[in-house]
Chain A
């Protein structure tokens, strides 16, 4: 029983990270209908930037978040303006945008190799090993902070999308870009900002990831997959949906320890992805699924 409670707690703590990873992918896909295959690469880049600021300048990893967010926002804007904007929209651009952003991921990976080598890195702070007792189980302070930040980001996303002019414009463009031009929304500007915001979220997720787990330039594939499962499960309409989906995915992963041998738990995320894609009928219709 106590073990179950432990597992449930760690699932909740993990869900915050997963939700933060997924918002960016979902936002970009929902608005531009482009799956950002470079998502995992941006997460990895965010992790490295946070790590560099921490190691090189002694900044607390959580205080690097604003810097990383701005840098990743810039990267996203560049990716859109230089590359994605040049592709045809709609189904014709589908495979092209996948491959293009996949190329960006490879380049990001290679840059990280060149600068940081292929070694695993972790962010360690004075409070990394500290833990609090909650309901009789020990919870690492780091994980709590990550969950707290994830909640703040969720609330900020909700406010942005539902209660600001920009958010309304983003949602309008997601619904029908052509009509938006008619009412005077600069669709290209919205796309650019969306790509920037989505990348900024991925960068922040990278910092959160780096405070909990070790990472290397190879990181990104499983982050991309998990984000995608969460987005497919949760839909794009609401921050709430994505948060719930993140909790489901984290729970499935954490509780798999009970039934599967430990080495197979890494495969759970991948299997879950395939199952979700196959079983969720909406997934059968490709592009239309999340509209």
Chain B
């Protein structure tokens, strides 16, 4: 029996995607970007990777996590500690952060038996507990005074390509997962875990797997973010607002779509740039409004909107939906 999910993304999109990655790769060299733009793009790539990885759990499996900041923070602080105390090369420390964050996610196994709102609220609990524990674990996180990570200027500059490569990999992985039989199994679990079990798809196994992958990638994005900021503080890294950030970027971009979170991340970073500096008091409410509008009118978010526009522009190709 061969089941093929309908093509979510047209083939040309693959070429466009590769071209976009190459273009972004040469932009800093060709255009002689300002340090500011260079940094903002780096931040955008890190945000994209995190949002996509959240979406594996929240969108593909349908388990909304409000606690991904735990893995983000763990990735960041483990990477920071590894490079500070063990003096390993920074990229290796990122990897260590990702691995530990993934292992932490395995620890969430008992939670994954929970479904729907039970899972979501349990993740708030885990996230908040992690925040409290790590904020007071001064030996590891530096407590309220945080952790400074000396990073040399070259690496800080190169971080752009590390982050770009990372985001591109995660995006490619998202598309592959979405279109593979693995992705179909996740869809089945999302639709009805009991029915999926009846046809031999073990929800606990696949959820564990996705949660570990998602946790490791979010941990890696936390590790890169730590190098990017060169100063990290547990109250911020493990904060509830970080967890909210993953939810908002992914949902506004298009929860469950392969690349929607990329759009969400772009909006997130642009809003942060233009609104957070001038009107910091407005940004949460704005996201809240966006979230409400998306859920009510376009459940697939910006990706759904994008698809609708494309369909309207090309009525001739309509028909199969």
Contacts and interface: CB of A to CB of B under 8 A. Distances in A.
Contacts of A102: 66, 247, 288, 291
Given A35-B117, A271-B125, A286-B116, A86 B62 contact: no
Nearest to A284: B113
B288 A225 contact: no
B247 A99 contact: yes
Nearest to A111: B285
Nearest first, the 9 closest Cβ-Cβ pairs linking A and B are A110-B285, A106-B288, A103-B291, A286-B115, A35-B117, A107-B288, A270-B129, A103-B292, A273-B125
B9 interface: no
B64 A266 contact: no
B284 A274 contact: no
Contacts of B23: none
A204 to B, nearest CB: 22
Interface string A28-41: 01000001010000
Interface stretch (A88-96, A193-201, A246-254): A88-96
Nearest to A96: B295
A228 B113 contact: no
A195 B277 CA distance: 37
B132 A266 contact: yes
Nearest to B127: A270
B116 A225 contact: no
Most buried by B among A102, A225, A285: A102
A284 B122 CA distance: 12
B121 interface: yes
Contacts of A264: 132-133, 136
B6 interface: no
Interface residues of A, number: 47
B178 to A, nearest CB: 18
Interface of A: 29, 35, 37, 83, 86-87, 91, 94-96, 98-100, 102-107, 109-111, 113-114, 221-222, 224-225, 228, 232, 263-264, 266-267, 269-271, 273-274, 277-278, 283-287, 289
Contacts of B124: 221, 224-225, 270
Contacts of A111: 285
B64 A95 contact: yes
B292 A263 contact: no
B122 A274 contact: yes
Contacts of A98: 64, 116-117, 120
B154 interface: no
10 contacts: A29-B117, A86-B296, A95-B255, A98-B120, A103-B292, A228-B121, A232-B118, A264-B132, A274-B129, A278-B110
A271 B127 CA distance: 10
A224 B291 CA distance: 20
Contacts of B129: 267, 270-271, 274
A286 B119 CA distance: 8
B285 A225 contact: no
Nearest to B133: A267
B114 interface: yes
B209 interface: no
Contact of B240 (A103, A221, A266, A267): A221
Contacts of B126: 270, 274
Interface string B264-286: 00000000000000000110111
Contacts of B113: 278, 284
A96 B256 CA distance: 12
Nearest to B291: A103
B128 A99 contact: no
A267 B128 contact: yes
A118 to B, nearest CB: 9
Nearest to B136: A263
B116 A91 contact: yes
Given A104-B288, A106-B287, A107-B288, A277 B118 contact: yes
B187 interface: no
B125 A270 contact: yes
A103 B288 CA distance: 4
